[in-house]
Structure 1
Amino acid sequence: MKKRIQKHINKEEYVKIYICDKDGTSITNFNGYIHEQDKNFLLMSTDYDFFYNGTVVIRKEDISEIKRTENEQFIQKIMEKEGLKNVIFERNKSLNFHLDSYENMFQTIREMQIPVIIEALYGNDDRFQIGPVASCNNKHVKINYFNARGEYDLKPVSCKYKEITHFTIDSKYALLYYKYSKFID
C-alpha cells in the first residue's frame, strides 16, 4: 500500500479512501488529495462539493480501499479547470502541518490555536468532539469541547489515541464554530 499511496502523492491524484474497523465494517470515506504518509498515518486534504473541507489524518491500518476510478479522474479535471486543486495545495502548504506521533501532532495543533474535530467511530462508540486542544500526552488528548450552541464544557474532554478513528483540522465548520463560540458567555 505504501508504494500505491506514494504514487498518488507524487502524481497529485484525486482519490477516494474508505476506512473500516478491525472487523471489516465500513466506517466512512474521504475524497481529496493525499499530501503525506508515514508508517502509521496519511495526511489528506478533503473536499466537499469541490471546495476545500479541511485536512484529515487517517490511520493507515484502517484503510480498506483507495479508489482512483474514472469518477475520481473526472472530478480531478473539474478541480484543475476551476483552479480548486491549486487552492487546496496552497492551503496545505500554508498550514505547514506534518505527520508525527499523536502527541506531537496535537501539540502542534495546540500551538496553531485552531480547533480540531476528533471522531471515534469504532464499535458502539460514536463520538464527535470539537474544540481547541487543551493538553496532550503520550496516551490521550484533551480538548476544550464546545457544543452546537457554541457553549464550552466546564472541563476538557479526553480521548485516548487508540479510540480515534480520524481527526480533522482547518475545516470551515470547526473554524466558524470556534470563532463564534469564543464570545458566548
Structure 2
Amino acid sequence: MSLKKIDKSIKIHVKKKNYVRISRGYKNDIFGAITGYLVASSKNFVLIAEIEDFYFFGFHCIPIRTITNIRRNKNDEYFGMIFEKESPKVFKKIFQKSNSINLNSFQNILKNLKNQNECVIIESERIKDDLFSIGHIQKISKKTVAIKHFNAQGFLEEPIKEKLQKITKITYQDNYSNTFKKYIRS
C-alpha cells in the first residue's frame, strides 16, 4: 500500500471511527499487526486504541512510515460492531482521551504523556535494536528520552536513556504497565 493510500485510509478511518487491522514493518523488519481503532493522526504519527478479543489493550503511538497496510473488511466491521455493543462506555472513552495528545513528534507525544504522569512502554521492534523500557518519563530532549525503568521483578533501576529515532512504538494506558506500576519496589 502506498504512503498516499495509507494517509487517505487513516483519515477515513479516524473520521468514521472504524475498527481496522494495521500491518507494520520497516525496511527488512516485519512488526506485529495491531487491531483496533485509529483514534487520531498527524502528518507523521497515528494513535491506535488496540482491541484484542473484544478488550481494550491500551494506546499505541506509531510512526506512519512503519504502516504497510490498513485493512477494513467484513470481519473487521463485525468485530467493531460487537465491541461497540459489548463495551459502549469503553468505546466512548477511547475517543475522548485522545484529544489531549499532540502527535506532531515523538518529543511532543512524550511531553504530553509525561505531563499526564503516564506509565509508558517505549520500544523498537526492529531486529537490530534492543529497546524495551517501561516506566515513567523522567526527561525529554530533542534527540533522547530518559525513562525511570522498572524491571520484571518490579524494582526501579537507573534511568534508561534512548534515542527518539530508534523508537517504533510508544504504548500507554495498557493493562500490563497499569497493573505492574502498582507493585513497584525500591
TM-score (norm: length of structure 1): 0.91
Aligned to 1:110: 114
Asked if 1:169 is matched to 2:178, the reply is: no
Question: d(CA) in 2 for partners of 1:33 and 1:169?
Answer: 15
Does the CA contact (< 8 Å) of 1:130 and 1:145 recur in 2? yes
Aligned to 1:79: 83
Structure 1: 5+ residue stretches without partners: none
Question: d(CA) in 1 for partners of 2:43 and 2:97?
Answer: 24
Question: d(CA) in 1 for partners of 2:89 and 2:8?
Answer: 24
Q: For residues 113-124 of structure 1, what are the structure 2 equivalents within 5 Å?
A: 113-124=117-128
Does the CA contact (< 8 Å) of 2:124 and 2:167 recur in 1? yes
For the aligned residue pairs, the C-alpha RMSD in angstroms reads: 1.5
Q: Which ranges of 4 or more aligned residues in structure 1 deviate by more than 4 Å?
A: none
Q: 2:13 aligns with which of 8, 28, 40?
A: 8
Aligned to 1:65: 69
Does the CA contact (< 8 Å) of 2:124 and 2:131 recur in 1? yes
Q: What letter corresponds to residue 119 of structure 1 in structure 2?
A: E
Deviation at 1:124, TM superposition (A): 2.2
Question: d(CA) in 2 for partners of 1:127 and 1:50?
Answer: 29
Q: What letter corresponds to residue 72 of structure 2 in structure 1?
A: R
Q: SS of the residue aligned with 2:101?
A: coil
Asked if 1:127 is matched to 2:131, the reply is: yes
Asked if 1:178 is matched to 2:181, the reply is: yes
Q: SS of the residue aligned with 2:155?
A: coil
* Seq. identity, %: 30
**How many residue pairs are counted as aligned between the two chains?**
180
Question: d(CA) in 1 for partners of 2:119 and 2:36?
Answer: 21
Asked if 1:159 is matched to 2:175, the reply is: no
Asked if 1:46 is matched to 2:19, the reply is: no
Asked if 1:17 is matched to 2:22, the reply is: yes
Q: 1:139 aligns with which of 117, 135, 143?
A: 143
Question: d(CA) in 2 for partners of 1:172 and 1:92?
Answer: 18
Structure 2: 5+ residue stretches without partners: 1-5
TM-score (norm: length of structure 2): 0.90
Q: SS of the residue aligned with 1:4?
A: helix
Aligned to 2:3: none
Question: d(CA) in 2 for partners of 1:92 and 1:158?
Answer: 31
